[in-house]
Amino acid sequence: MEREVFIQQEIKKQGVLPLFYHDDLTVCTAVTKALYAAGIRCIEFTNRGTKALANFSALLKERKASWPDLLLGIGTIKTADDAEKFVKAGADFLISPIFDAAVCDVAYLHKVLWIPGCMTVTEIHVAQQAGCKLVKLFPGNVLQPAFAEAIMPLFNGIDFVVTGGVDATEQSISSWFKAGVTGVGLGSKLISKTILEQADYPALQKNTEDVLTIIQKIRKQ
């Protein structure tokens, strides 16, 4: 439990959770390197391709030499089987786009932080009853900040992050933080297709640094 609490606090402290997947391990390594150089210490690698497990395992090996304090989680976990595979590989935390009781059980048995994705008040209630302390609101572009603000008073003891439709701008990020979330997930809005195609990793580092600065500014307001 101490490990789970620590990781939740680190995600909350960082305020942004970059997430990505790529078939090419060289690209995965370069993206991780750029994010780390920008100050990121928690990353979600998504289980969205045939090479997800192999590339994630390779990133974990590289971490030992290059990013010793980096927390690497795996996202898009929808089955207990996938949860088991990535936990055994060494995932620091699991993230799902849904609430799944079987995935919840795997996380509980292995004492690994699991962040379920919820879209309704009922789903959030089920997640809270299952012991979840951090919930992902998804998809954010459908729910909007007003939804988050409305449900916050109903769920004491839960922190929320939001993924989907969040832009890497002060206006977008601020609207969610003001609604009460503790973090935002950024995928293609941060690690864009253009950056990947052009291998412009200095731009990725700079954009990530800007996002971290925005979050610091928002928290001081």
User: How distant, in Å, are the alpha carbons of 26, 69, 177, 188, 219 from that of 165?
Assistant: 27, 29, 14, 9, 21
User: How distant, in Å, are the alpha carbons of 3, 25, 107, 121 from that of 32?
Assistant: 22, 10, 25, 34
Residue 221: band (very low, low, confident or very high) from pLDDT cuts 50, 70, 90: confident
Look at residue 195 and tell me if it is in a domain.
yes
Look at residue 220 and tell me if it is in a domain.
no
Residue 152, pLDDT > 90, answer yes
User: How distant, in Å, are the alpha carbons of 84, 94, 122, 178, 220 from that of 99?
Assistant: 16, 12, 11, 25, 33
pTM as predicted: 0.96
Mean pLDDT over residues 10-31, rounded? 98
Look at residue 219 and tell me if it is in a domain.
no
Which alpha helices (DSSP H) does 130-169 contain, by range? 140-151
Q: What is the CATH number of the domain that holds 8?
A: 3.20.20.70
Q: What average pLDDT does the structure give for the chain?
A: 97
Mean pLDDT over residues 75-86, rounded? 98
What is the residue range of 171's domain?
2-213
Look at residue 21 and tell me if it is in a domain.
yes
Look at residue 146 and tell me if it is in a domain.
yes
Q: Do 74 and 98 form a contact (C-beta atoms < 8 A)?
A: no
Q: What is the pLDDT of residue 165?
A: 87
Look at residue 124 and tell me if it is in a domain.
yes
Closest Cα to residue 143, out of 122, 110, 165? 165
Distance (Å, rounded) from C-alpha 32 to C-alpha 63? 10
Q: Do 99 and 125 form a contact (C-beta atoms < 8 A)?
A: no
Q: What is the pLDDT of residue 1?
A: 65
Number of separate domains in the chain: 1
Distance (Å, rounded) from C-alpha 116 to C-alpha 143? 16
Look at residue 39 and tell me if it is in a domain.
yes
Distance (Å, rounded) from C-alpha 103 to C-alpha 113? 11
Residue 144, pLDDT > 80, answer yes
Look at residue 162 and tell me if it is in a domain.
yes
Mean pLDDT over residues 18-43, rounded? 98
Mean pLDDT over residues 129-144, rounded? 97
